[in-house]
Amino acid sequence: MGSLLEWRAWLPAVASAFAVAAVSVPSLTLPRPQPPARPVGGVEFLGWAFMRVSGILLLFLVLGHFVIMHLMDGGVNRVNATFVAQRWANFGWRVYDFLMLALAMGHGVWGMRTVLLDFIHRPTRRFWALATLYTLSGVLLALGALVLLTFRP
């Protein structure tokens, strides 16, 4: 009689009851949220297309950067000022790094713009939030480009 008072003795019966109830209860059809429609034209469509293209390009650029800088020829142990100077002596590497910088900045800014538009509803606050975002990102992009283009060992 004492074993019937233990919860483990009732576990198979309770699990079976839940299984029968789950099968017996009519299924509920919940409304499925629809994904936002793809923009048809204008700035929103260009932004939508840019996010897709830049995401794919960044995937390859960043993976290439990771392999070259962290896995090949000794990995991060060989990366120092001399390595960077030799690498950036070739204009192609500067273009590669600038492309990665510009695409990453643009991709991040457009994503952050989307978040701000979703959550800031007052026009004045939205204006200042977007102005701050664009100003800071423009300054950071300019500083990154300045380093890439004017670096001298």
Predicted local confidence at residue 6, as pLDDT: 64
Q: What is the pLDDT along the chain (153 residues), one digit of tens a residue?
A: 555 556 566 667 777 777 666 666 666 676 777 776 777 778 999 999 999 999 999 999 999 999 988 888 877 888 888 888 998 899 999 999 999 999 999 999 999 999 999 999 999 999 999 999 999 999 999 999 999 989 887
39: left (phi over 0), alpha (psi -120 to 50) or beta: beta
pLDDT at res. 57: 98
Residue 79's pLDDT is 84
Amino acid present at 105:
M
> In the numeric block, which tokens belong to residue 136?
């800071």
Q: Quick one: 86 exposed, middle or buried, by C-beta within 10 A (0-12, 13-18, 19+)?
A: exposed
Sign of the CA dihedral running 61, 65, 71, 72: positive
* Interatomic CA distance for residues 71 and 86, integer angstroms: 18
Which runs of consecutive H residues, i.e. helices, occur in 2-152?
Answer: 7-24, 42-66, 81-88, 91-119, 123-150
What residue segments make up the domains of the chain, in order of their start? 44-150
Cβ neighbours of residue 94 closer than 8 Å, sequence gap 6 or more: 88, 148, 149
Which pair of structure tokens corresponds to residue 52? 């897709």
State pTM to two decimals: 0.72
Fold of domain 44-150: 3 helical TM bundles of succinate and fumarate reductases (1.20.1300)
The CA distance from 60 to 94, in Å, is 16
